[in-house]
């Protein structure tokens, strides 16, 4: 359960403003619309909220983006505060989300 906490902390440190409601998928570089991708430019870019600052003990903030349209959607998840001496992380190398 450490991974969602790390994601929340990392995202929170990167940006502390509200997520953009609109999104441009047009890529000047590739001259095409990129399905499921928000393209940053000088006036618009995805960002994260600062809701993580109100977390209490036993909570982690999780930011989610998806091809379906979620753009740094934020939710609070409760976690077990019991320490794990040897955590196990699994990486599925057969699933690729970006090229």
Block means of pLDDT (10 residues each) for the chain, length 99 residues?
47 42 71 74 69 86 77 86 84 77
Task: Give the domain ranges of the chain.
Answer: 2-78
pLDDT value, residue 35: 74
Distant-in-sequence, close-in-space partners of 56: CB < 8 Å, separation ≥ 6: none
What's the rounded Cα separation, in Å, for the pair 16 and 54? 13
**Predicted structure pTM score:** 0.45
Contact 65, 46 (CB under 8 A): yes
Q: Phi and psi for 42 in degrees, rounded to 5?
A: -65, -25
């Amino acid at each position: 359960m450490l991974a969602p906490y790390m994601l929340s902390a990392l995202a929170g440190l990167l940006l502390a403003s509200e997520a953009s409601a609109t999104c441009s998928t047009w890529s000047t570089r590739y001259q095409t619309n990129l399905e499921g991708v928000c393209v940053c430019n000088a006036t618009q870019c995805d960002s994260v909220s600062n809701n993580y600052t109100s977390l209490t003990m036993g909570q982690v903030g999780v930011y989610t983006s998806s091809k379906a349209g979620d753009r740094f959607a934020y939710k609070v998840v409760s976690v077990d505060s019991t320490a794990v001496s040897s955590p196990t992380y699994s990486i599925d190398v057969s699933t690729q989300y970006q090229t």
